[in-house]
Structure 1
Amino acid sequence: MKTAVYPGSFDPITNGHLDIIKRSAKIFDHVIVAVLVNPDKKGFFNIEERVFLIEKVINRIENVSVESFSGLLTDFMKKKNAQVIVKGLRAVSDFEYEFQMDLMNKKLCPKAETVFMMTSAKNSFLSSSAVRQVAMFNGCIKDLVPDQIITDVMKKARKYCKKS
């Protein structure tokens, strides 16, 4: 059984992320969406909220699960008996960074393979940070994030703006 891990911050999950998840689910027996706990970053959504939003979106995809993790991705993969890392690429600049990460992951875990998936053209401009910014200025995020979480993102953006 081939298990793949799709790591990221997913703050929030976008339609671009969901596209990569769905396409990965067609290729691998099991896909774990791995939400990184980064103590150096203050997230828009906390880890539990991110996991909840992703679960809300992927609930109909049988071979996909979501978990949070901290530490090294390769350690998480070993715990989950995963063999493949899935990474989405939007532009050449993404490739340069992800290529370096792949080389480091190979150093730490030579058996790990990375599969790069190109984003679809309709999602090539999309990022979580762009979604957050549009939401904070009360812009329309339809077609940027899955419909199931639009209300959650807009509600969080309003709270976030009141704090600032």
Structure 2
Amino acid sequence: MSSPRTSTVVLPGSFDPFTLGHLDLARRAAALAEHVVVAVSHNPGKKNLLDLETRRSVIAETLQAEGLDGRTEIRTLGRGLLVDFCREVGAGAVVRGLRSQLDLAYEEPMARMNRHLADIDTVFLLTDQNLAHISSSLVREVHALGGEVDDMLPPAAVAALADVS
């Protein structure tokens, strides 16, 4: 039995840096939909480790290396509502990863609000158990303290982090 498909989904995040967990979500989102819009959030008031263009470049290089570049598009997500962005790109759903119950507690109210505001569903994908300990914030912290993070990131992200060290 085949699963229902929506033509376009949005995978939003800051992706600072883009991790193997993010890559796994992008792969799995591409299996669910014909087109995946990776929406890189941009908040000028927030201090990011990697600037917006570097994050976009890392994602593009990674998705191309995975053969997903023909099915994905990388866009900048501004300050507006995610549901407005979804309407703009014609997405029927948002894809989010869940590492734990804490992620669900954080994500559930937003998913319900997106559904209320614009009838946009959220598809939650359980993170691969081998990647569940990886988050961008922990990668940034380990990297800042001199720890090894190469096994948590795709090669393009490793190179980008080396450039900011």
Same fold by TM (over 0.5)?
A: yes
Match of 2:63 among 55, 58, 61: 58
User: Secondary structure of 1:29's partner?
Assistant: strand
* CA RMSD in angstroms, aligned pairs only: 1.2
Q: Give the alignment of 1:7-156 within 5 angstroms.
A: 7-59=12-64, 60-61=67-68, 62-70=70-78, 71-110=80-119, 112-156=120-164
User: Secondary structure of 1:123's partner?
Assistant: coil
Residue equivalent to 1:161: none
In the alignment, is the contact (CA less than 8 A) between 1:10 and 1:128 conserved in 2?
A: yes
CA distance in 2, matches of 1:47, 1:152: 12
Cα drift, residue 107 of structure 1: 2.0
In the alignment, is the contact (CA less than 8 A) between 2:29 and 2:95 conserved in 1?
A: yes
After the TM superposition, which segments of 4 or more aligned residues of structure 1 sit over 4 Å from their partners? none
Structure 2 segments unaligned to the other structure (5+ residues): 1-5
Identity of aligned residues (%): 37
Q: Give deviations 1:72-94, integer Å, cap 9, x for gaps.
A: 11111111011010000000000
CA distance in 1, matches of 2:151, 2:21: 10
Cα drift, residue 68 of structure 1: 0.6
Q: Give deviations 1:44-83, integer Å, cap 9, x for gaps.
A: 1121111111111111212011111211111111110110
Cα drift, residue 137 of structure 1: 2.3
CA distance in 2, matches of 1:54, 1:85: 18
CA distance in 2, matches of 1:140, 1:38: 28
Cα drift, residue 38 of structure 1: 2.1
In the alignment, is the contact (CA less than 8 A) between 2:19 and 2:157 conserved in 1?
A: no
In the alignment, is the contact (CA less than 8 A) between 1:136 and 1:154 conserved in 2?
A: no
CA distance in 2, matches of 1:138, 1:128: 15
| TM-score w.r.t. length of structure 2 | 0.90
Number of residue pairs the alignment of both structures matches: 156
Establish whether residue 5 from structure 1 lines up as the match of residue 13 from structure 2: no
CA distance in 1, matches of 2:145, 2:132: 22
